[in-house]
Amino acid sequence: MNAAHSLTRGIATALLALPLTAAAASPVTATALDYTQVTEADLADHWSLEQADIRRYRNYMAREGQFFYAHLDPIMVLGIIESDPKRRTRYAEQYLMAERQRIEAQTAFAQAVGAAQIRLFGKEKYVDFSRLPQAAAIPSLTTAQDSVRPHVGAPLVSRLDPAALQAGDTVDLLVDAACQAACYDQLRALLQRPAMTIALYGRDFADPTALVTWLEAGQASWTDTERQAAAARIQPRRFDPLAFARVAPIALPLALVRRNGALIGRLF
């Protein structure tokens, strides 16, 4: 073995030994995290509770609740463990109001995200996941997509006699911003049929709130009774292409009837 080869081996050996030596000399330790302690007064104020409620909540969570209810908020935990009917009712009302506020905030943010998507990136094409290379390994995905992909020619959904409508049916009504009198007339006629929900889908609207504006504009000549019925039974929704995928493109409005979630026919 020549001197140069011996020197190279020596350097390599020393380099390989460095991490082990450093690890032995400086053991890795977890960084201590210092969380700010939240006082009972702070928690009580945040959740609109009494400090006695917070003490009871913390005591229960320390003894038992941590194993079952660590993911629940204080109001729900207190409501679950409360045995007094009046106090349980108070917790239930508090939880309900807080949950409604959370849902309103989440919905408002989702609408803001949708509006930002259209404003920043425009109307992008829908992604057909069955055409991705990975889909070849999942035959069930391709089969499911083929079952709902629209076919050229006659509609896959047959016409339904309006007389066949039943209480509890849901009508998926598809409109767009350009559809005015025809869509409003059909919507008004659907409201004459009681005990039926109308899911109103808007296609090609500028933003999520534009469909609601469109709906309100169409009710200018309606009676108070019709407006009340509209508020109770019409549910504006974001356009879902899969909801109308089994129908060949036709002029709007388009109305599909669902019974217990299953598509049973097309009204118009």
**CA–CA separation, 25 vs 128, rounded Å?**
55
Asked whether the whole model's pTM tops 0.85, one would answer no
Separation in Å, CA 153 to CA 32, 246, 249: 67, 11, 9
Q: Residue 23: its pLDDT value, please?
A: 44
pLDDT given at position 157 = 72
Q: What is the DSSP string of 172-202?
A: EEEEETT--HHHHHHHHHHTTSSS-EEEEEE
The pLDDT of residue 158 is 79
In this prediction, residue 27 carries a pLDDT of 57
User: What pLDDT does 20 receive?
Assistant: 44
Which among 166, 231, 164, 162 has a CA at the least distance from the CA of 196? Answer: 166
Which pLDDT does position 182 carry in this prediction? 92
SS3 238: strand
pLDDT at 232: 92
Q: What's residue 47's pLDDT?
A: 94
Residue spans in the chain of domains classed CATH 3.40.30.10: 155-266
C-alpha span between 132 and 211 (Å, rounded): 33
Exposed/middle/buried for residue 222 (C-beta within 10 Å: 0-12, 13-18, 19+): middle
Going by C-alpha positions, the residue among 236, 188, 232, 191 that lies closest to residue 210 is 236
- At residue 205, the pLDDT reads 87
Give the per-residue pLDDT at 235. 93
pLDDT for res 64: 94
Q: Specify the residue for token string 């007339």.
A: 185
Sign of CA pseudo-dihedral 88, 91, 93, 96: negative
CATH among 3.40.30.10, 3.90.1150.10, 3.40.50.300, 3.20.20.70 for 155-266: 3.40.30.10
pLDDT lower than 50: segments of the chain: 3-4, 7-8, 11-12, 14-25, 33-35, 147-148, 150-155
Can you give the pLDDT at residue 21?
A: 45
Query: What's the confidence (pLDDT) of residue 114?
Result: 83
